[in-house]
Amino acid sequence: MSRPDIAAAAEARALQDGKPELLVLRALKLGDLLVAVPALKALRRAYPEHRLRYAAQGWLSEALSLVGGYELFPTHGLDEPLAMEAGVVDVAVNLHGSGPESQGRIEALQARQTIGHRSQYRDGPPWRPELHERERWVRLLEWHGIEADPLDIRLNTPHVPSPVPGATVLHVGAAYGSRLWPAERFAAVASTLASAGHNIAFTGGSAERERALDVCRRSGLPEDTVLAGRLGLAEFAATIAAARLVISADTGAAHLASAYGTPSVVLFGPAPPEIWGPPPGPHMVLTRPELRRGDTFAHQPDPALLAVTAQDVLAAVRELGVM
């Protein structure tokens, strides 16, 4: 079934059961969903009688189920209009951004109530680029009279078990080259931790399996430690939730570790941890901010990431008390 067909079917169900519609636009990636969890939970509490839908790419459906209460409304970024007739949505929420593209998509819904930042269309709080992402969306809701807690990040327990409970997870992939910590450093960390008794698992997406296999070979560990490309989102979340430790760049894996309180070492390159970093808890952030170029879409690792050594990571693991 195509995205428009799925959207039309969902719209028909909503009209049949008579529930008012609330739609959240955040057509981004896994990490973006996870930092929005406090706002999504607050909206769920504020609108208990509404049908709640989250407009994003279809592959996030399993991850969205961990938030609870929302249906995924298939949407591919902002490059096409939302497949919904004007006037169907009762409450439209822009958690995507403050630019004209996302604002235009929201305005086209002609909702009874719109929640968003200040724009040419309506009033709202000003966009503040210095805010942490969790805080940004919480403050947006608070401006509109909805109570929210930026630390309300906990996700539901995955419905599937971890294939490697108690593993130390090295998530070797990232969406962009700017966040790819060198393979030989991941391998050095894996080898040292394995010698110290850690059960290592290498994770990543399907496109990152070859990189994970390369790291595995360099570390001298058996190939069956490579889970990259073999896990669905629910299994991946279960793996992080049940892990002993997670070592990752600033990716969805790191945000899942935050959501489940799993000890983590998070390596930051182009993105500032002040905006995207983990909440208080058993999490260590490693970066060199004075070296940051900040080009998320660069092909080469950001200098702030390259300045982090394998010994830095191992020292962080010892500081967390999980060596």
Q: Render pLDDT for 98-157 as a digit per residue (tens, 0 to 9).
A: 999 999 999 999 999 999 999 988 999 999 999 999 999 999 999 999 999 999 999 999
Of the candidates 162, 155, 136, 135, the one whose C-alpha atom is nearest the C-alpha of residue 60 is: 155
The CATH fold assigned to 168-320 is: Rossmann fold (3.40.50)
- Residues 6 or more apart whose CB falls under 8 angstroms from that of 307 comprise 287, 288, 291
The pLDDT value recorded for residue 273 is 97
The kind and range of the H/E element at 284 are strand 283-286
Nearest-5° Cα angle at 102, 11 to 278 = 100
Helix, strand, coil percentages (3-state) for the chain, rounded to 5, are 40, 15, 45
* Grouped pLDDT means (10 residues each) for the chain, 323 residues: 48 64 96 97 98 96 96 92 94 96 95 95 94 98 98 96 98 96 98 98 96 98 97 96 98 97 98 97 98 96 98 98 91
Assigned superfamily of 3-143: Glycogen Phosphorylase B; (3.40.50.2000)
Residue 24 half-sphere exposure, CB side, CA atoms within 13 Å?
28
**How far apart are alpha carbons 170 and 24 in whole angstroms?**
32
**How far apart are alpha carbons 265 and 285 in whole angstroms?**
6
Same fold across 3-143 and 168-320 = yes
* Rg over CA atoms, the chain: 20
Structure-token pair, residue 322: 């999980």
**How far apart are alpha carbons 164 and 287 in whole angstroms?**
29
The pLDDT value recorded for residue 117 is 97
- Domain locations in the chain as residue ranges: 3-143, 168-320
